[in-house]
Structure 1
Amino acid sequence: MTYSGVFVDLDGTVWRGRDPVPGVADAVRALRERGVPLVFVTNNTGVRRDDFHARLDALGIDPDAGEVVTAAWATAEYLAEYRPNASVHVMGQDVVADELAAAGLTVSESGTADVVVVGYDERVSMDRLTGALRAFGPGTDFVATNRDSTTPHEDGPMPGAGAFVAAVEEMTDHDPLVVGKPSTRMADVAADILGVPLDECLMVGDNLHTDVLMGDRAGMDTALVLTGVSDRADIETTDITPTHVLDSIADVPTLFEN
C-alpha cells in the first residue's frame, strides 16, 4: 500500500505510561527511510510540544521525525484563524493558555469573554467553575480542546477533559465546538503540516473512539494498534471499523511492503 503521510497517536501507541512500545523507534525509522512523512497527534493538553519532542528523542526517535500536534496547540491555531481578535477565558491546563497567548490571542482571567475554552483541568475548583460560568455573555463561543471521558494514569484511569466540558455545558446550556480527536479539525491541522490530502494518509492509534473515529470522519485509512485502550472485542461492539488491526506500531511498516 502507499500512503502520502502517517498520523501517529502517542499515549497507548508510541508509549504506555513511561515505557515505549517495543519496536516503535525502528518502525518510525523504517517509515522515514521509505520517505513517508509523519505527524504525531495527541489530545494531551498538559505537556508542551517541545517536551514531547524531547521525550521522543529520549526513546530513540529523532525529534525531526515529525511535528507534534496537541489538542492545546490545535485549539490555539483554530482560534487564531477564526477568532483572531478574541478574548479567551480558559478552564484548563496552563499549557492551553500559553498556546493561546503565543498565537496572539488575549487570555482573560475574569469577566465575560468572546470565547471560553475548556479542557482537562487538574486544578478544577468551585472558583474555577464559577469563573468559567461568568465568562459567558451574549455571543460567547464555547470551545472544547477535546472530550476524552478519561485520561490514563499509572494508578488507573482519571477523569478526562470531557468531565470538565460536561460541567460547563450543563451550567450554560451551550454546546461546545470540539477541536481535538475525534473532530476532523485536529486532522485538518495535522494535514496542513504534512501538506498532503487527508484521504492519502493513514491514522495509527489505540483508541477506536478517538483515533480511528477521527480517521473515519476525515476519509483516512486507519490502523488500530492493540497496545492501548481498544481491543479486538471492542470492534464487535461498535460500528467503527478500522482499515487495519495491528498488534502494535511496530507492524505499521509492513503495510508499505509490496
Structure 2
Amino acid sequence: MIGFAIDMDGTVYHGERPIPGAREFIAGLRERGIPFRFVTNNSSHNRQFYADRLDRMGFGVTPDEILTSTVATVRFIKDNRGGRSVYAMATPDVKAEIAESGIRMASEGRPDIVLLTFDTTIDYGKINRGYHYLLQGSEFIATHPDDVCPTEDSYDIDIGPFIRMFESMTGREATVVGKPNRLMLEMAAAEMGVGPEDVVMVGDRLSTDIRMAADAGTRSILVLSGETDLELLRRSDIRPTFVTGSVADILTEFVDSRKLF
C-alpha cells in the first residue's frame, strides 16, 4: 500500500484557483482506495481554513486530511517538550488551534518556548517580546523555514527571514519542524497507516517537498505547476524520483501504469 503526501500551494491550487485536473486527481485517489494527506508548510491559518478553501474549490476534503506545519509542530512539542509553556507568534485562529491542542500557553513571565509561525498579524510588539524572551533563555521553535509563500500571482514574505533575524540577534538557533524535516512525512505516514518508505511526496518545491522525500529515503514526484521549472531543476542538486507537468498526469503516468507499485 502506498500513500500520497500532497503539497497544496502550487501543487493543487494557485490562490483560490484549482490547478486543472487537481480535483480529478484527488477523486481518483479516493476511487482507488489510495490514502492521502495534504501536507503544507503554511502556518498562517488553521486546518479548518484550508479544508474550507479546498471545499470551495470542489475537493471535498475534511480537516483530518490536512497536516499543516502548525499541527506537526504542536505534536512535536507535546511529544518532546511536554508541559512546557509557549509564547506563540501566530494569527488569532492559529493561536486558538495551538491552545485547543492542550499546549500550555504562557500568560506571564518568561515562557519555556518561543514559537514562530507564519504570523501575518505580526507587529513590533510581538517581535520585541519574542526577542527578549529568547535573550532570557527561552527555546526557539519555528513551524517551517520558507522564505516566501506563493500567492495567486506572486509571492509574499514568509518566516524564513524572521528566523534568521531572531537567530542573529539572540544567538539562539531555531528548531524547525516543517518540510523539509522528515517529521512531517513520518506524521503523514502514521495518519495514513502506511510506512514512511511507502509515502510518495508530491510537490512543486525542490527545497522543501522533494528534499524532505530525499532525506526520508522515499519517492517523490515533482510537479512543474508551481515554483520549479526545468531550468531550476537542471541547476539543482536535489533530484526527484519522477517529474511531471501537474498532478493531472499522476494517475495515468504513475498509478495506473503501476510505476509506483
- Give the letter aligned to residue 37 of structure 1: P
- Give the letter aligned to residue 85 of structure 1: G
Question: Counterparts in 2 of 1:150-189, with a 5 A limit?
Answer: 150-154=148-152, 156-189=154-187
Q: Of 41, 45, 48, which aligns to 1:47?
A: 45
| Root mean square deviation of aligned Cα | 1.8
Tell me if the contact between 1:93 and 1:121 (Cα under 8 Å) persists in the aligned partners.
yes
Counterpart residue number, 1:207: 205
- Give the letter aligned to residue 256 of structure 1: V
- Give the letter aligned to residue 31 of structure 2: E
Counterpart residue number, 1:63: 61
Counterpart residue number, 2:256: 257
Counterpart residue number, 1:10: 8
1:119 aligns with 2:96: no
Aligned counterparts of 2:228 and 2:170: Cα–Cα separation in 1: 33
Aligned counterparts of 2:98 and 2:133: Cα–Cα separation in 1: 17
Counterpart residue number, 1:97: 95
Q: CA deviation at 1:126?
A: 2.6
1:33 aligns with 2:31: yes
Tell me if the contact between 2:17 and 2:152 (Cα under 8 Å) persists in the aligned partners.
no
Q: CA deviation at 1:110?
A: 4.8
Q: CA deviation at 1:61?
A: 1.6
Q: CA deviation at 1:156?
A: 2.8
Tell me if the contact between 1:71 and 1:179 (Cα under 8 Å) persists in the aligned partners.
yes
Q: CA deviation at 1:65?
A: 9.9
Runs of 4+ in 1 over 3 A off after TM superposition: none
Q: Of 202, 212, 218, which aligns to 2:216?
A: 218
Number of residue-to-residue matches in the alignment: 256
Counterpart residue number, 2:189: 191
Deviations 1:173-194 (A, max 9, x none): 1111111111111112211111
Aligned counterparts of 2:63 and 2:2: Cα–Cα separation in 1: 15
- Give the letter aligned to residue 182 of structure 1: P
Counterpart residue number, 1:227: 225
Gaps of 5+ in 1: none
- Give the letter aligned to residue 207 of structure 1: R
Q: CA deviation at 1:100?
A: 2.1
Counterpart residue number, 1:85: 83
Question: Which secondary structure does the structure 2 equivalent of 1:136 belong to?
Answer: helix
Tell me if the contact between 2:185 and 2:196 (Cα under 8 Å) persists in the aligned partners.
yes
Deviations 1:195-224 (A, max 9, x none): 211111110001111111111111220011
Identity %: 35
Deviations 1:38-62 (A, max 9, x none): 0000011122212212222222222
Counterpart residue number, 1:24: 22
